[in-house]
Amino acid sequence: MAILVELLAIAAAVASGHLVAALVAPASSPFVAVGDAVVRLSPQPVVEFAKSAFGTADKPVLLAGIGVLLVLLGALAGLAARRRPAVGTAAVAALGLLAVAAVLTGPVPTATDLAAPVVALVVGVAVQRGLDRLARRHGGTRTGSGGSGDGVPRRTVLAGASAAVAAGTLVAGGAGLALSSSGSGIAASRVALTGRLAAATLAETAPPVPASAAFPQLGTVPFVTPNADFYRIDVALTIPAVRAEDWSLRVHGRVGRELVLTVDDLLRRPLVQRTITMTCVSNTVGGNLVSTADFVGVELAPLLLEAGVDPSADQIVSTSRDGWTAGTPTATVLEPGRGALLALGMNGEALPVEHGFPVRMVVPGLYGYVSATKWLADIELTTFAERSVYWRDRGWAERAPIKTQCRIDAPVGFSKLPAGRVQVAGVAWAQPVGITAVEVRADDGPWVRAELATEVNPNTWRMWRAELDLSPGSHTLTARATDRRGLVQTDVRVEPIPDGATGWPSTIVTVV
Ligand SMILES: Nc1nc2c(c(=O)[nH]1)N[C@H]1C(S)=C(S)[C@@H](COP(=O)(O)O)O[C@H]1N2
Ligand SMILES: [Mo]
């Protein structure tokens, strides 16, 4: 019985905490906050291992692991509580305090964030003490006759109380889950923001992408990546849920005057539309952590100038609602024509939640980890010497401009092709300068200049195609790009860490 009491108390605490969190501040759910804290405190090798072992299932696996651990802890505490009743209460209280600590040490904690773990703590302790007292008074599970005539009603009281707690837990947990998965109004907020963006007058529109910008009939990816296919990389255990109505951004640090901006404030500024190719530093040669979208947002540079950037502030640290941080060179963002954005829209909609709703940063020409903060919450003007950030702490470079790179999309590796002329096609990118040439060759043969598709702008990828005459047998096709600076992509193969992979992409095909 003591074990059941303990487990019911923990379940009631978790469920009530999740419900309160779903109502007031989704990220403050004790369960989720503890999971986030585990990720924050895990040494880098553990995080890398989890990612490679479980892939994108790493988050559910972690949450399930915490669930199993809670059951084990509850059972152990329950066993101990048979001898020493105080242990049972102490265990539940300790778990509650752990949740409070996880939320308090989390990113940008606010007073409302405390509501959920505190409710969980109080509910957990109250249930544990209440049921435990009933159980002891009435002899617990010791079954059999139970003796006296009033034993039956007493056991009934205990069973009834337990059932009531269990039912309450299910209802609270179910309601919490339903609310948090419906995103506490996030979906409605997204629809509303999509509407406001559609109704807004853009100060600058992106020219439509011409059909000549891609070669889909040859097997290249579409020029603009549909939102559902846009690559996704982040360390967020659960997607931070902030309604556009509740969002605000603080710009502070080495500035003349602090700014606090809401979505309304942003929508009052000139809105610009830009087609930009984003790239992840973790992309391996030939990989697909690169995508293109039409972003709508406000220019970041004038906003920073309004705040008055101190000349000493060489780094912009942006913090996500989930605590993740990126460090961007101030000079890059302020560079004339760079076009860094606080983006609100992506491909005709408000940002999808997994891509940073309601506001994210996008800086053309920089890898995402040093620039593209999603669920943006805070911008601090500081120095590289003064503050380090998430991935820099884990061995990645302080500065990371995108390296000139290309990819062969067709033919697909290990294809069997009929002899004769073979169509080769792919993409190349060198944001922010653009691509001026791509060459392809078979084996050690001569380089063949590819035909380039129409350039949309230098901050986007550029598609290419070429024809090669291949004799029967197996061939390795290799490509290399040249950027507008005249730099030919290096063939030296390096791994993504610390500042991006290099090397020529290649594909093996068999001509029959
Ligand atoms: N809050 C937050 N923002 C983040 C990250 C993150 O882990 N958390 N990852 C960054 C990295 S490494 C990349 S490459 C881009 C990816 O953006 P996407 O998922 O929209 O493609 O987001 C950046 N912004
Ligand atoms: Mo990335």
Query: What pLDDT is stored for residue 183 in this prediction?
Result: 57
Is residue 91 within a helix (H) or strand (E), and if so which, with residue range?
A: helix 85-104
Mean predicted lDDT score pLDDT of the chain: 91
Contact assessment for residue 115 and residue 28, using Cβ atoms and an 8 Å cutoff = yes
State mean pLDDT over 412-437.
Answer: 96
* Atom of ligand 1 minimally distant from the CA of 321: 1
Which residue's CA is the nearest one to ligand 1's atom 7? 234
- Cβ(375) to ligand 1 under 6 A? yes
Each as own residue / partner, the long-range contacts of residues 102-107 (CB below 8 Å, 24 or more positions apart, any chain) are 102/30, 102/33, 102/34, 102/36, 102/37, 103/28, 103/30, 103/33, 105/37, 105/40, 106/27, 106/28, 106/33, 106/36, 106/37, 106/40, 106/323, 107/319, 107/320, 107/321, 107/322, 107/323, 107/324, 107/377
Lowest mean pLDDT among 54-63, 235-244, 311-320, 356-365: 54-63
Cis peptide before 432 (omega within 30 of 0): yes
CA angle 246/250/256 to nearest 5° reads: 150
In order of 131, 287, 459, 497, the CA distances from 283 in angstroms are 54, 5, 17, 10
CA of 366 to the centre of ligand 2 (A): 10
- Cβ(323) to ligand 1 under 6 A? no
CA of 374 to the centre of ligand 1 (A): 6
pLDDT in tens, 257-287: 999 999 999 999 999 999 999 999 999 999 9
CA of 402 to the centre of ligand 2 (A): 11
Lowest mean pLDDT among 25-34, 99-108, 148-157, 372-381: 148-157
pLDDT band per the 50, 70, 90 thresholds, residue 224: very high
- Cβ(324) to ligand 1 under 6 A? yes
Which residue's CA is the nearest one to ligand 1's atom 20? 355
For the cut 80, the answer to whether the pLDDT of residue 490 exceeds it is yes
In three-state secondary structure terms, 315 is strand
Q: Domain residue spans in the chain?
A: 2-183, 193-394, 405-511
The length of the chain is 512
CA of 234 to the centre of ligand 2 (A): 7
Query: What pLDDT is stored for residue 144 in this prediction?
Result: 44
CA of 123 to the centre of ligand 2 (A): 41
Ligand that lies nearest to the alpha carbon of residue 225, given by its number in the listed order: 1
State mean pLDDT over 75-79.
Answer: 91
Closest CA to 230 of 320, 324, 321, 346: 346
Ligand that lies nearest to the alpha carbon of residue 501, given by its number in the listed order: 2
Query: What pLDDT is stored for residue 109 in this prediction?
Result: 65
Amino acid identity, residue 74? G
Ligand that lies nearest to the alpha carbon of residue 235, given by its number in the listed order: 1
> Ligand 1 pocket: which of 56, 234, 235, 324 to mutate (most atoms <8 Å of CB)?
234
- d(CA 268, CA 423) in angstroms, rounded, equals 49
- Cβ(14) to ligand 1 under 6 A? no
Which residue's CA is the nearest one to ligand 1's atom 21? 232
- Cβ(500) to ligand 1 under 6 A? no
Percent of the chain with pLDDT over 70: 93
* Atom of ligand 1 minimally distant from the CA of 232: 19
CA of 177 to the centre of ligand 1 (A): 25
Which residue's CA is the nearest one to ligand 1's atom 15? 368
State mean pLDDT over 428-437.
Answer: 98
The bridge status of strand 271-279 relative to strand 202-204 is parallel
Q: Same topology for domains 193-394 and 405-511, yes or no? A: no
- Cβ(368) to ligand 1 under 6 A? yes
Query: What pLDDT is stored for residue 136 in this prediction?
Result: 83
State mean pLDDT over 363-385.
Answer: 98
Percent of the chain with pLDDT over 90: 71
Which residue's CA is the nearest one to ligand 1's atom 19? 232
State mean pLDDT over 160-167.
Answer: 90
Q: In this structure, what token pair is assigned to residue 204?
A: 């600058």
For the cut 60, the answer to whether the pLDDT of residue 149 exceeds it is no
pLDDT band per the 50, 70, 90 thresholds, residue 85: confident
* Atom of ligand 1 minimally distant from the CA of 369: 12
* Atom of ligand 1 minimally distant from the CA of 355: 20
Q: At what angle do helices 2-24 and 85-104 cross, to 10 degrees?
A: 20
- Between 50 and 317, name the one with better pLDDT: 317
- d(CA 504, CA 405) in angstroms, rounded, equals 8
CA of 321 to the centre of ligand 2 (A): 17
State mean pLDDT over 502-509.
Answer: 98
pLDDT in tens, 38-70: 877 777 677 767 766 776 577 678 888 888 999
- Write down the CATH number for the domain with range 193-394: 3.90.420.10
In order of 32, 40, 103, 154, the CA distances from 322 in angstroms are 11, 10, 11, 48
Which residue's CA is the nearest one to ligand 1's atom 10? 369
Q: In this structure, what token pair is assigned to residue 178?
A: 């339903």
State mean pLDDT over 387-416.
Answer: 97
Ligand that lies nearest to the alpha carbon of residue 322, given by its number in the listed order: 1
DSSP states of 212-240: GG--GGGTPPPSSPPGGGS------SS--
Phi, psi (rounded to 5 degrees) for 352:
-65, 150
pLDDT band per the 50, 70, 90 thresholds, residue 108: low
- Cβ(396) to ligand 1 under 6 A? no
Ligand that lies nearest to the alpha carbon of residue 108, given by its number in the listed order: 1
- Between 183 and 296, name the one with better pLDDT: 296
The bridge status of strand 416-417 relative to strand 506-511 is parallel
- d(CA 205, CA 181) in angstroms, rounded, equals 35
pLDDT band per the 50, 70, 90 thresholds, residue 142: very low
Strand-pairing partners, residue 429, are 405
pLDDT in tens, 170-220: 988 888 877 766 556 899 999 999 999 999 999 999 999 999 999 999 999
For the cut 70, the answer to whether the pLDDT of residue 139 exceeds it is no
Q: Residue 400: how many CA atoms within 13 Å on its side-chain side?
A: 25
* Atom of ligand 1 minimally distant from the CA of 278: 21
State mean pLDDT over 398-410.
Answer: 98
pTM over 0.85: no
Residues ≥6 apart with Cβ < 8 Å to 111: none
Q: Is 174 left (phi over 0), alpha (psi -120 to 50) or beta?
A: alpha
Cis peptide before 43 (omega within 30 of 0): no
Contact assessment for residue 429 and residue 456, using Cβ atoms and an 8 Å cutoff = no
Fold of 405-511: Immunoglobulin-like (2.60.40)
Query: What pLDDT is stored for residue 141 in this prediction?
Result: 47
Query: What pLDDT is stored for residue 44 in this prediction?
Result: 65
State mean pLDDT over 140-146.
Answer: 46
- d(CA 301, CA 418) in angstroms, rounded, equals 53
Lowest mean pLDDT among 76-90, 357-371, 372-386: 76-90
- Between 330 and 20, name the one with better pLDDT: 330
Which residue's CA is the nearest one to ligand 1's atom 6? 234
> Ligand 1 pocket: which of 369, 370, 379, 429 to mutate (most atoms <8 Å of CB)?
369
